[in-house]
Amino acid sequence: MKVKVINRSGNSLPQYETALSAGMDVRADISEGIVLQPLGRALIPTGLFMEIPAGHEVQVRPRSGLAAKHGITVLNAPGTIDADYRGELKVILVNLSDTPFTIEPGERVAQIVLTRHEVIEWEETDALGETSRGEGGFGSTGSH
């Protein structure tokens, strides 16, 4: 699927790293390093602007390597970029480790995935269909 993109960064466009990858890494469009203190967060620009097709969203997800090795993750994961948004893609990163971490210029900070979504059409009612689970939630299915 074609997605129009403006790249105002000094980085190349995101690309799939393998033939079966679902996501593409996006890079920090910054001129100098940004230090994320423990429990600190920062809004990281990417220099990318997209025209996402109607009926789709771009999800912004953490990179597993940053999370596993350094405790760096996307704060609102998955973030949603709506089809009508035309501003710059920025990534909210948070440092969940106990040591400072520096985001370097051009560093891969998140991954993006294009996904299709449905539009809800509400149907108000006074009752919902019965299930064996019912209203049980938050661990109600057990830990077998």
User: Could you tell me the two tokens for 9?
Assistant: 């960064």
Residue 143 lies in a domain: no
User: Given the DSSP bridges, would you call strands 88-95 and 108-116 parallel, antiparallel or unpaired?
Assistant: unpaired
The contacts of residue 115 (CB under 8 Å, 6+ apart) are: 56, 57, 58, 59
Number of domains in the chain: 1
Instruction: Please give the mean pLDDT across all residues of the chain.
Output: 95
Which tens digit of pLDDT belongs to each residue from 69-97? 999 999 999 999 999 999 999 999 999 99
User: Could you tell me the two tokens for 65?
Assistant: 């390597």
CATH number at residue 28: 2.70.40.10
**Cα dihedral sign, 126-128-129-130:** negative
Residue 44 lies in a domain: yes
Which backbone phi and psi does 64 adopt, to 5 degrees? -60, -35
Residue 130 lies in a domain: no
Residue 99 lies in a domain: yes
Residue 8 lies in a domain: yes
Contact 112, 80 (CB under 8 A): no
Residue 14 lies in a domain: yes
Residue 132, pLDDT score: 86
Residue 137 lies in a domain: no
Domain with 52, as residue range(s), is 4-116
Which tens digit of pLDDT belongs to each residue from 83-139? 999 999 999 999 999 999 999 999 999 999 999 999 999 999 999 999 988 887 777
* Residues facing residue 50 across a β-bridge: 5
Residue 141 lies in a domain: no
